[in-house]
A = this chain, B = another copy of it.
Amino acid sequence: MTAAVVFVAHGSRAAAANDAHVAAAEQLAERTGVEVRPAFLELAEPSIPEAITAAVDAGADEVLVLPLFLYPGRHVATDIPALVEEARAARPSTPIELLEPFGADPAVISLLAEQVARRLA
């Protein structure tokens, strides 16, 4: 299996924010040894379906979609699943799995607690 990760940020009008996401995708690829393609829900490109179909067309036989979102708002609950479904319809023979959003990991709170503790130490 050759898995690829499509790493989804919200997207921003600020180029610095979008550039930071592209850099984070590169770091994530280095850490995991897996191809990681950045994608954006809105305001920047590539879109989520574009990044997924590009990963499949480049040879991935499994795509993991990782939403860099913190809370279960409408983007996580509705918008991203609909865009993943659109990509599945376009590339029906490849498994495309939508992972839990980043913020669902209890380790996020631990990281925040460390940030506060460092400041108060």
Contact, CB under 8 Å: B20 / A72: yes
Expressed in whole angstroms, the minimum distance between the Cβ of A118 and any Cβ of chain B is: 10
Number of residues on chain A facing chain B (CB within 8 A): 48
Q: Is the CB of A89 closer than 8 A to any CB of chain B?
A: no
Inter-subunit contact B112/A66 (CB<8 Å): yes
Residue contact A73 to B13, C-beta cutoff 8 Å? yes
Identical subunits present: 2
Contact A66:B13 (CB < 8 A) given known A27-B109, A120-B34: no
Chain B residues, CB < 8 A from A93: none
Tell me whether A16 and B64 are in contact (CB under 8 A). no
Interface residues of A (CB under 8 A from B): 3, 5, 7, 9, 12-14, 16-18, 20-21, 24, 27-28, 31-32, 34, 36, 64, 66, 68, 70-74, 76-77, 97, 99-100, 102-103, 105, 107-117, 119-120
